Each structure stands twice: as C-alpha cells, then as structure tokens.
Amino acid sequence: MNSILTKEEKTFYNQQCRLTREICKMHLLYLDNIKKQISCLKFKERFEKTNPEFTAKRQLLEEKLQQNDSLIQIVLSNMSPKNAWIIEKTYLSNNYNSEWYLDYFSKTTFYKRKREAIKEFVDLYFSN
C-alpha cells in the first residue's frame, strides 16, 4: 500500500508541475499579447493622429502592463522568497538554459526545493 501512495503522490506532483507550467505560460502569453496590442496602437497613433481613442487605449494597456496585481504576482508575493524565486526562474524567466539551477543548487537539492515551491504555488493559487 505504501508504494501505491508514493505512486499517487508522484502522479499528483506531476499534475501540479503541468498546472504550474501552464498557468505561467498563459501569464506570459497574456503579457505578450498586451505588448503586441500596445505596438499596434502606437503604429495606429502614428498614422491617425486625430484619433485620441488609440492613445487612451495604449495608455490603459501600458498601465496594465506595469501593474503587479495579477493573480500570479499576488501568489508570488505571498510565497516564501526562496520558493517564489524558484518559480520565477523556472517558469517565468526568459532564461533558456534549463540547467540554470546548477549555479545555485545540486540537482537533488533543486528538485527537492522545486517540489516545495510548486506545492506552495498551487496551494496559494487555489486559495485566493
């Protein structure tokens, strides 16, 4: 029975990893979409200077981009600094080096801490 529980725990952790990855990916896509909208509005402003609606929309989007009130930012700010840092570096960073953690941890220590970080992230994400 103990090995079944361990298998269930592994399955649950893998689901938490996928969920965290997808949440962060959606957040990054959302931010990218806002940046594209801003660029498009800047282009329109340049060629249609008489339409103040473009400027107002662009300013609203730029404010939204600068705000740190997204659910992910709220969750990260309520996490322990170490765990928030791990989530940010693993899922929200533009660092394409998948072994970035080797500068800070051994592989075993990183995966142990990543497990803790993901658990805390998911717990806080769904408690809000």
Q: Angle 107-127/2-47 helices, nearest 10 degrees?
A: 70
End-to-end CA distance of the chain: 34
Residue 56 pLDDT greater than 60, yes or no: yes
Instruction: Please write the tens of the pLDDT for every residue from 24-53.
Output: 999 999 999 999 999 988 888 888 777 788
User: pTM of the predicted model, to two decimals?
Assistant: 0.81
Residue 1 pLDDT greater than 50, yes or no: no
